[in-house]
Amino acid sequence: MDIRYFDNAATTKVKSEVLEEMLPYLKEEYGNASSLYSIGRKAKRAIEKARRQVAELINCNPEEIYFTSCGTESDNTAIKGIAKAYRKKGKHIITSKIEHPAILHTCQSLEKQGYRVTYLSVDENGKINLDELRRVISMDTILISIMTANNEIGTIQPIEEISKITKMYNIIFHTDAVQACGNIPIDVQKMGIDSLSLSGHKINAPKGIGALYIKKGIEFEKFIDGGHQENDKRAGTENVAEIVALGKACEIAKNNLENHMKYLQELRDYFIKQIEENVQDVKLNGDREKRLPGNTNFSFKGIKGETLLLKLDEIGICASTGSACSSGVEAPSHVLTAIGLSSELANSSLRVTFGEENTKEDASYLIKNLIEIVENLRKNK
Ligand code: PLP
């Protein structure tokens, strides 16, 4: 059975150019980047090239990039590291209710250590309210962390407006751009971002590599102690092959961004139009305009997202639901609940996220089958 993969927000396929670029560092170029002989120096040079490639994607200086093991580690390092470095200035952090667990659970962990965290609500499209943000800022606010784009509903936040507010109050601004980098233009200087997380496996590099941008001059305590790698900010022998892969993936993402966005937007809009025209009682979740190019998220009234997912899986289609099923209890997605959906509607959601591997033919196959599955499930209720 052919697999048709529509879960590109969960992870993406490694591009063959990316694999080609990293393979020598798993074979003959196995030197430790800290070693002084030739293959060590070669590894070091490869890391520094990758650092420039990542920096170019988001328009920062290469020295402001730190390689990590994933987006989650980048988020942990930024939030905990900045919070600890500035604890004498204050212990208040502001974030939103719809962040990824990499941010939410990190903030909860800091709350246990005496920090105060405000979780901003969002409107029905998933956008934060800038007036509420201004209102909750206090004398001891040290950090504001708002994701660039949401992983479930694709909503893009008004990052430049948020950063203007943070600048006005001299507060550090972190953004989790794991879903955004490589999918929409990101310019940390123009957008006024102080700290940003990105992850390799969302942009056609392998799993297990991430990067953190932290603007020069901003202090943060390191998250992993040990050797002096990454300018003494992230210990551990560098994962050279994966760093090289991330660098290549960023270079490709930068060069192809316009075409990539256009291609994904066309697939996304075709899918949305067909579903809205052909299926009754559906609701598109997330902002219609300010939305990631490849993201769709629909609630199908009266049908469990999980049932849809399993039916699609039977014919080789991979998608995702907004609900996480833990120990038999269906917990509705915190994101869908935050935009005002009832538990029932939240549990009836299906996320379809397109990637460059998908063709219009694939999308048509998905649409045809999804329409049939929904009709049959509703008929047989
Ligand atoms: N932040 C967001 C918005 C994400 O979507 C993800 C992954 O799904 C992460 C952070 C975590 O990234 P990683 O899987 O690289 O740890």
**Under a CB-based contact definition with an 8 Å cutoff, are residues 184 and 293 in contact?**
yes
CA 15 to chain centre: 18
Per cent of the chain over pLDDT 70 is 98
Based on the domain organization, do 309 and 225 belong to the same domain? Answer: no
Question: Which of 194, 225, 253 corresponds to the end of one domain?
Answer: 253
Based on the domain organization, do 229 and 261 belong to the same domain? Answer: no
Q: Report whether residue 176 contacts ligand 1, using a CB cutoff of 6 Å.
A: yes
Position 327 scores a pLDDT of 52
- Average of per-residue pLDDT across 13-27: 98
DSSP 32: -
Based on the domain organization, do 242 and 318 belong to the same domain? Answer: no
Q: Report whether residue 246 contacts ligand 1, using a CB cutoff of 6 Å.
A: no
pLDDT at 328 over 80: no
Known catalytic residue at 325: yes
Based on the domain organization, do 38 and 160 belong to the same domain? Answer: yes
pLDDT at 49 over 90: yes
Which residue in the block uniquely carries the two structure tokens 């959906």?
341
How many domains in the chain?
2
> Domain containing 229 — which CATH number?
3.40.640.10
> Domain containing 343 — which CATH number?
3.90.1150.10
How far apart are the CA of 199 and the centre of ligand 1, in A?
A: 7
- Whole-angstrom Cα distance, residue 234 to residue 65? 11
Question: Which of 231, 253, 275 corresponds to the end of one domain?
Answer: 253
- Whole-angstrom Cα distance, residue 90 to residue 84? 10
At 78-132, the pLDDT tens digits run 999 999 999 999 999 999 999 999 999 999 999 999 999 999 999 999 999 999 9
The residue range of the domain holding 281 is: 4-12+257-379
Based on the domain organization, do 64 and 163 belong to the same domain? Answer: yes
Based on the domain organization, do 231 and 301 belong to the same domain? Answer: no
Q: Give kind and range of the element (H or E) at residue 130.
A: helix 130-136
Tokens of 335: 């994101």
- Whole-angstrom Cα distance, residue 132 to residue 166? 13
Per cent of the chain over pLDDT 90 is 97
At 119-144, the pLDDT tens digits run 999 999 999 999 999 999 999 999 99
Based on the domain organization, do 97 and 129 belong to the same domain? Answer: yes
Sign of CA dihedral 55, 40, 233, 104: positive
Position 76 scores a pLDDT of 98
Q: Which of 11, 145, 151 to mutate to test the pocket of ligand 1 (most atoms within 8 A of CB)?
A: 151
**Predicted model pTM:** 0.97
Question: Which of 195, 227, 253 corresponds to the end of one domain?
Answer: 253
CA distances from 94 to 75, 99, 175, 189 (A): 14, 11, 12, 22
| Count of CB atoms situated within 10 Å of the CB of 192 | 18
